[in-house]
Amino acid sequence: MIEKMRLNIIFLICLLISYACHTKSQEGPAKEKKQDEIKTETKAEIKKSDIKPKIKVRIRKEFLYDKDTLPDNYPYKATTREFQWDKIRKKLIFLDSIQENAISWAILQNYKNFNGEAKTVKNFRRNDYNWVSDSLGVERYQSAPLYSLSDSIIPLLYGRDGSLVKLTGTDGNFIKIKTLHFEGEWKVPKRYVKTLDDSITFKKTIFVDRTNQNIATLEKIDSIWFVRSMVKATTGLHKPPYQHETPLGIFVVQQKKYKMIYNDDGSSERAGFAPYASRFSSGAHLHGVPVNGPIDSKIVESSPSLGTTPRSHMCVRTISSHAEFIYKWGKIDNAIVFVFD
């Protein structure tokens, strides 16, 4: 009898333990899911705070250059290439949002170290080309030194030539800026900064897609961004020691050359020219098809390599008549160049 009671007690204990474990296994995932949902909602709120929800972008196709126009999606070998309209739309929202309030704009400039070689940054490194660069990979050559507000001796980063920046104040021989690429306020020696007129608004944009090797130009009239062209392009190739990839970023057209002279790699010998060149960063120009030969050689309209794979020397090649369109349409200090992947 006692033995039977003992067995019954053991059975009840096992039953209670089994029920408790089953209940815990049901409640556990539910609680974890609830926590995940809270985290997701928090992330979503942070994301929304970075974007201006009131800014709406309307895009409409109305071409000014309509030769060799590419569709939104098109075949390339065994793949499909595209115009990344989602990314373009986000960049237009960003551009519209930063122009909502009155802001003084400027361009960082140091083409061919014309304003002086920037000082070596605190934590420098040498890149694949054996050139000094900062922790973000920006090279010292043709860049402006960025100093922290508390240090005027050793810069921390470099700002690429042609980068659009916000002016925030002055500090002796320095100008205070905010970049559009990373957080923080920085000091730059005045000689590296070109201040733009307060009346300037950016309504003409050139989108260079390194992944899909294409270009789209858009122009804002009233509240609509009109697509002015959609064509193929060839960007820069990362291939030391002479070829550089086209830099990513937000730049301003700074200079125009009807025929841009170029030399043979590693030589001072003239090799040829590229027509209708619009320079936007360091040695990066947007130009027509390169011509190997004398300066008076005939301009070549197109090339089979356009729109295939990167092969340029930092520049962006396009159809020569399209380069001419941009050359005439995109004004100096007023046209924005977005380079993205």
Give the pLDDT confidence score for residue 101 in this predicted structure: 86
Q: Give yes or no for residue 37 having a pLDDT over 80.
A: no
- Rounded to 10 degrees, the C-alpha dihedral 49/50/52/58 comes to -140
Confidence band, pLDDT 50/70/90 cuts, at residue 311: very high
Q: Give yes or no for residue 75 having a pLDDT over 60.
A: yes
Contacts of 20 (CB under 8 A, 6+ apart): none
| Three state DSSP letters for the chain | CHHHHHHHHHHHHHHHHHHHHHHHHHHHHHHHHHHHHHHHHHHHHHHHHHCCCCCCCEEEECCCCCCCCCCCEEEECCEEEECCHHHHHHHHHHHHHHCCCCCCEEEECCHHHCCCCCCCCCCCEECCCCCEECCCCCECCCEEEEECCCCCCCCCEEEECCEEEEEEEEECCEEEEEECCCCCEEEEEHHHEEECCCCCCCCEEEEEECCCCEEEEEEEECCEEEEEEEEEEECECCECCCECCCCCEEEECCEEEEEEEEECCCCCCEEEEEEEEEEEECCEEEECCCEECCCCCCCCCCCCCCCCCCCECCCEEECHHHHHHHHHHCCCCCEEEEEEC
Confidence band, pLDDT 50/70/90 cuts, at residue 209: very high
Give the pLDDT confidence score for residue 181 in this predicted structure: 85
Give the pLDDT confidence score for residue 236 in this predicted structure: 98
Q: Give yes or no for residue 38 having a pLDDT over 60.
A: no
Which tens digit of pLDDT belongs to each residue from 6-34?
Answer: 444 444 444 444 444 444 334 443 333 33
Confidence band, pLDDT 50/70/90 cuts, at residue 215: very high
Q: Give yes or no for residue 152 having a pLDDT over 80.
A: yes
Give the pLDDT confidence score for residue 13 in this predicted structure: 44
Which tens digit of pLDDT belongs to each residue from 291-306?
Answer: 999 999 999 999 999 9
Asked if 123 contacts 263 with a C-beta cutoff of 8 angstroms, the reply is no
Give the pLDDT confidence score for residue 1 in this predicted structure: 45
Give the C-alpha separation, 17 to 22, whole Å.
9
Instruction: Tell me the pairing of strands 284-287 and 204-209.
Output: unpaired
Give the pLDDT confidence score for residue 53 in this predicted structure: 53
Which tens digit of pLDDT belongs to each residue from 267-282?
Answer: 989 999 999 999 999 9
Give the C-alpha separation, 305 to 309, whole Å.
7
The mean pLDDT value of the chain amounts to: 87
Quote the percentage of the chain above a pLDDT of 70. 84
Positive or negative, the CA dihedral 141, 144, 150, 152 is positive
Which tens digit of pLDDT belongs to each residue from 111-125?
Answer: 999 999 999 999 999
Apex CA 112: angle with CA 182 and CA 107, to 5°?
Answer: 40
Weakest-pLDDT range from 36-40, 63-67, 291-295, 333-337: 36-40
Give the pLDDT confidence score for residue 49 in this predicted structure: 38
Give the C-alpha separation, 218 to 204, whole Å.
6
Which tens digit of pLDDT belongs to each residue from 184-207?
Answer: 999 999 999 999 998 899 999 999
Quote the percentage of the chain above a pLDDT of 90. 80
Give the pLDDT confidence score for residue 228 in this predicted structure: 98
Give the pLDDT confidence score for residue 31 in this predicted structure: 37
Give the pLDDT confidence score for residue 306 in this predicted structure: 98
Give the pLDDT confidence score for residue 252 in this predicted structure: 98
